[in-house]
Homo-oligomer: A and B are copies of this chain.
Amino acid sequence: MSGNTFGKIFRTTTHGESHGPAIGVVVDGVPAGMPLSEADVQRELDRRRPGQSIITTPRAEVDKVEILSGVFKGKTLGTPICMLVRNVDVDSRPYEAIKAKPRPGHADLTYWLKFGHVDHRGGGRAAARETVGRVAAGAIAKKLLASHGVEILGHTVEAAGVAVEGELSPAEIRKNVEKNPMRCGDPKVAEKMKRRVLEVSAKGDSTGGVVEVIALGVPTGLGNPVFEKLDAEIARALVSIGSVKGVEIGAGFRASRMLGSEMNDQLRLKEGKITSRTNNAGGILGGISIGMPIVARIAVKPTPSITKPQLTVDVARMRETELKLGGRFDPNICPRIVPVAEAMLALVLADHMLRAGKINPDRFE
């Protein structure tokens, strides 16, 4: 069953199983003439890959990207860009023992129910490794957006129950987020997060959190009426990331307890432009961007792979059984979800910039 393509004009098609020969992506709809190198993409993939710190799984994925089409003499051609990452350092042996035992919290069972024939090794297509394709495509989208004045930021605002207080400025986020393993914009909170994450991990358990993504410089008028509202498409994009159980825009769930007079962003003039005094809307009204920062947050569930024993069903013998996973897992995946969430926001915005005629679809200008 298809489902591996995202976007209407800026179109991303990903493929690949975690332990198969390769993971890859084809990006269609990038205007011709944009400078693009493998280094542009590699930088983002390096932010995604495991083994970056004590917080992430130690699988030493090299994740070296190769661009196979769509670029000529350092510039895009307006044709599809195929990017490929070979899977190396893959040890599929641990999965043999559990191939009939779907892991709770994973897609093992649902894939098996749906498809019958599955690649049980490392989660197959449903593994976090699938996001390599998203991040590679997102790197191109980000570059295209940046050249049109749109910047994407992402950071962990809560992990293991430890939350950033108040709102961080874009400057703080830019400065701090790559300097701590939690990708938190506040270094002190990052330290507390890390401590709590490792405490839980040491007990064979895992934690989740909340990741926020922000787009600055988004022009007014992005998003279409009714079903293709910008916030609806952002919600879809972000919830399509594995482990995400919720999404909110602007004030989000807090809005449900506010009064109308508190929630409504009152309007004002600033340097001759109409803008709002607050940004509870998260930059979007009626599904259309208002020119304020776009702000979305996602609920990230705790890493489903834990070493604590769990109950499952042996689907070969159809009987209940205990599952004890060995190995090492991401104690908390928020920091690795940050670049993925940024990528998804970039994909939505690049697509909508093209759809609204804010980016020339044929030629990079």
Contact = CB atoms under 8 A, between A and B. Distances in A.
Nearest to A210: B256
A95 to B, nearest CB: 12
A267 B102 contact: yes
A110 interface: yes
A225 interface: yes
A299 B266 contact: no
A142 B20 CA distance: 24
Given A1-B9, A205-B260, 8 more contacts: A1-B29, A5-B13, A15-B28, A16-B80, A33-B117, A255-B300, A260-B303, A268-B320
B355 A105 contact: no
B2 A228 contact: yes
Contact of A286 (B73, B110, B232, B258): B110
Nearest to A276: B104
Interface stretch (A49-57, A147-155, A181-189, A238-246): A238-246
A17 interface: yes
A361 interface: yes
Contact of A28 (B2, B287, B311): B2
A325 B6 CA distance: 42
B226 A299 contact: no
Nearest to A234: B239
A65 interface: no
Interface string A308-340: 101111010011100000000000000000000
Contact of A239 (B70, B106, B231): B231
B255 A246 contact: yes
A247 to B, nearest CB: 6
A342 interface: no
Nearest to A20: B69
Contacts of A221: 110, 113-114, 362
Contacts of A75: 117
B226 A363 contact: no
17 contacts: A1-B31, A4-B226, A17-B70, A20-B68, A21-B67, A22-B68, A32-B118, A33-B117, A105-B263, A110-B221, A229-B240, A232-B236, A232-B237, A235-B235, A245-B282, A248-B299, A258-B302
